[in-house]
Structure 1
Amino acid sequence: MAGLELLSEQGFRLDGRRAGELRQLRARMGVFAQADGSAYLEQGNTKALAVVYGPHEVRGSRGKAGAAAGALVNCQYSLATFSTGERKRRPHGDRQGQELSLHLKQTFEAAILTQLYPRSQIDIYVQILQADGGNYCASVNAATLAVIDAGIPMRDYVCACSAGFIEDTPLADLNYVEETAGGPQLALALLPKSDQIALLEMNARLHEDHLERILQAASKACKDVHALLDQVVREHLQEVTALLGK
């Protein structure tokens, strides 16, 4: 990475974006008829597929006691073998997969109205088909659309975006090159209407003087993601309404 200029003197990044600009985001809902909810999302070159099953009866006796007050949220994150340039086998439940599965669970427990579904379980499965930075964030955004597609009520959309700090400038929605360049980074999952943080993770130490700026960059990016996801949901609703009207 030595000598690679991540931010030009004119304020442009390697892929031509400004510091606070998102990668192009495209998404579709209802991609699997067999699931209760599903969505496919591209955030730049990172591609994620999310599938939701439930609410359904709790599987296994261990979870039944915990589900009495509200639905259990079960999340599984996986990285497809072909998603990166490295063709190595990833054992199911590897450490990073387990960690991101837990992050997804914490994120959606904060957003889903679980108390409406006592003694039940909601399963959220996310797979990264192509990895180019911001895997967790793309997973959250795809899963949000899949949960909405399943008709499961949430307090708000959950929108996620990463931010980094390079050359005294906060950068939003990092790609793989920017992620691997080093420097402090954070991933933020936000409920945008209330500004409630569902999950915040930092990968390195950052001076407190810079924390507010990088957090503001991530928060603004999450709200930009919200506008795009809301547009996808409205377009999908129009398509479904048109089909039902025929």
Structure 2
Amino acid sequence: LRNDGRRVQELRKINCKPSVLSQADGSAYIEQGNTKCLAAVYGPREARTKAQVLHNRANINVEISLAPFCMSERKKRSKSDKRILEIASAVKQTFETIIKTELFARSQIDIYLQILQFDGATLALIDAGIPMVDYVCACSAGCIDDEPVLDLNYVEESHDTPELTVALLPKTGKITLLQMESRLHVDKFQSVMEMATVGCKKIYNILDDVVRENVKNLLEKKK
């Protein structure tokens, strides 16, 4: 067993809820272990500036902020922090592959993520009714004592554990993002990637159940 009592192939407990912010076009709150994220989506709407206008598709803008209490060292991070910019860039690239941006030329879709404590954006986009070709689910896996482990927690990450994050389109199996933290021996790469892929599929099943239940509740309210 790992330091939090989980087996190597076990995800942290996941709780998620869509439609948590009435002011946003779409929103969601998600917890995965001690990781907590609030996501809000606005749009498609008019771009803020002419420089952001794309004539053949919508521009996707991603902004991420970390609550000052979400990191153990209480380090305050600005929007220009390198780590935050890296995460925002990865989120933007991932959703550009699945959102049908060609339907909303010359407009803008804003995704705001508030990390309260260290894959809410997908639920928030679905809640906003933005057309997508698939869900996108992300999960990490690493290697501890030469054994692949799923969904690293903060303590495991803090020990410089080799970690691979995979973003997957579950219906097609297409991988849209591979992000490596620390070095991982080539002999272990395939098994760690397969472990992360399994985690993505587990997360998809959870998210899909939540979406279906939310749609069911909305339909019942309209009766």
Common fold, TM-score beyond 0.5? yes
Give, as a single letter, the amino acid of the residue that structure 2 aligns with 1:60: T
Gaps of 5+ in 1: 1-11, 132-140
Match of 1:241 in 2: 219
1: distance between equivalents of 2:75 and 2:13?
29
The answer to whether structure 1 residue 25 and structure 2 residue 14 are counterparts is yes
> Which of the numbers 92, 107, 121 marks the counterpart of 1:143?
121
Alignment of 1:1-246 (within 5 A): 12-64=1-53, 67-131=54-118, 141-245=119-223
2: distance between equivalents of 1:151 and 1:229?
15
Match of 1:6 in 2: none
2: distance between equivalents of 1:155 and 1:103?
18
1: distance between equivalents of 2:199 and 2:75?
33
Provide runs of 4+ in structure 1 moved above 3 Å: none
- TM norm structure 2: 0.97
- TM norm structure 1: 0.88
2: distance between equivalents of 1:126 and 1:82?
15
1: distance between equivalents of 2:190 and 2:72?
35
Secondary structure of the equivalent of 1:42? strand
**Residue 205 of structure 1: how far off its partner (Å):** 2.5
Gaps of 5+ in 2: none
Secondary structure of the equivalent of 2:69? helix
Give, as a single letter, the amino acid of the residue that structure 1 aligns with 2:214: H
Contact 1:145 1:229 in 2 (8 A): yes
2: distance between equivalents of 1:105 and 1:158?
12
Give, as a single letter, the amino acid of the residue that structure 2 aligns with 1:104: V
2: distance between equivalents of 1:30 and 1:226?
18
Secondary structure of the equivalent of 1:83? coil
2: distance between equivalents of 1:79 and 1:68?
33
Instruction: Work out the percentage of aligned pairs sharing the same amino acid.
Output: 52
**Residue 180 of structure 1: how far off its partner (Å):** 1.0
**Residue 77 of structure 1: how far off its partner (Å):** 1.3
2: distance between equivalents of 1:26 and 1:213?
27
**Between 83-92 and 113-122, the greater mean CA deviation after superposition:** 83-92
Give, as a single letter, the amino acid of the residue that structure 1 aligns with 2:183: R
1: distance between equivalents of 2:66 and 2:31?
15
